[in-house]
Amino acid sequence: MKKRIKTILAVVICCFLLFSVAACGSSSSDATEKTYGITSDWEYYSLTVNGETTYRSAVIPDSDNPHFSSEDGATFKLNVVPDKIYTGDLTLNEDGTYTLTKKDADDSVASLNLKIEGDMLTISFPGGQTIAFKAK
């Protein structure tokens, strides 16, 4: 009888320890991923042209890297090369992407597509090129 009680007690203690250790872990549904909006602070990450991706380099000064910003969520500033800043309007689409429309432009690259996924902002150009920015 004593042996049976010790066995049952040992099983109960093991189950208790198992559940107490498992309760310490967090599930993926509990973890909250930070979301970034169009007005977040973005820094250049990469440029893809003809399937070749070039990433940000530490040897290139930040002033020579592309920049994107939107202070109000309705307008933007974008430069891909230094000293050539494009400005325009942002339009939020139903699917959560944005359309960037350059001011005073009637050419084929007057409208660009922009999407934000996680901490990455990607702008797509008509020829298939993309430029990516990462939230700071």
pLDDT in tens, the chain (136 residues): 666 665 654 554 544 544 555 555 544 444 566 889 999 999 999 999 999 999 999 888 988 999 999 999 999 999 988 888 989 999 999 999 999 998 876 655 578 999 999 999 999 998 899 999 999 9
Specify the pLDDT at position 81: 85
Strand order in the sheet with 85-92: 52-55, 42-49, 130-135, 120-124, 111-117, 98-102, 85-92, 75-79, 67-69
Predicted local confidence at residue 31, as pLDDT: 52
Torsion of CA 33, 37, 43, 46, to 10 degrees: 80
Query: How far is 122 from 38, CA to CA, in rounded Å?
Result: 11
